[in-house]
Every structure is written in C-alpha cells, then in structure tokens.
C-alpha cells in the first residue's frame, strides 16, 4: 500500500515521437512495494501500442529507488523523451 505522505514520485511515463520512423516510443518508470515489502523499480519501454519490454530492479529503500528513477528519467530525457 503506498504511503500518502511520501514525497517520492512513484510513477513516471516518458514519450518520444520518432518522425523518421513515424512511430512513438514510451518509457515508463514505477516504484512499487511487493507483498513481502521489497521496494522495486519497474521499467517498461517500447513502441506505443505494443507490450514492450520490461525489467525490475530491487532497492533497499524508497529513497534509493527514487534516486534511480530520477537517474533513468534524466537519461531518457537526454535522448529526447518528454514527460507525458
């Protein structure tokens, strides 16, 4: 269950339109807690309209996961992605 008092952004979706290919791409980042209390950063990416690919990373706490989320977001923004 998410903590309503947490200042950490838990879900972020980035978007990039590729005019040369005429396709749009997405990059989704989400911090979640599983049933055992493990903090996970879930990344999904691919073309809009497809399932895409995904990867899950485990972190010791929410603060470290949030820093990783912001790091991934900044990397993708440098590649031309914008917040959706």
Nearest to residue 6, comparing CAs of 31, 29, 27? 31
Residue 25 has a pLDDT of 96
Q: How many residues does the chain have?
A: 84
Residue 66 has a pLDDT of 93
| 25-81: pLDDT as tens digits | 999 999 998 888 899 999 999 999 999 999 999 999 999 999 999 999 999 999 999
Exposure of 56 in the CB half-sphere (CA atoms within 13 A): 8
> Does the pTM exceed 0.85?
no
Q: Top-level CATH class of 22-83?
A: mainly beta
């Amino acid at each position: 269950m998410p903590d309503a008092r947490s200042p950490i952004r838990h879900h972020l979706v980035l978007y990039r339109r590729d005019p040369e290919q005429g396709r749009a791409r997405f990059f989704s980042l989400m911090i979640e807690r599983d049933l055992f209390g493990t903090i996970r950063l879930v990344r999904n990416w691919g073309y809009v309209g497809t399932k895409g690919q995904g990867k899950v990373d485990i972190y010791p706490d929410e603060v470290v996961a949030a820093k990783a989320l912001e790091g991934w977001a900044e990397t993708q923004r440098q590649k031309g992605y914008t917040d959706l």
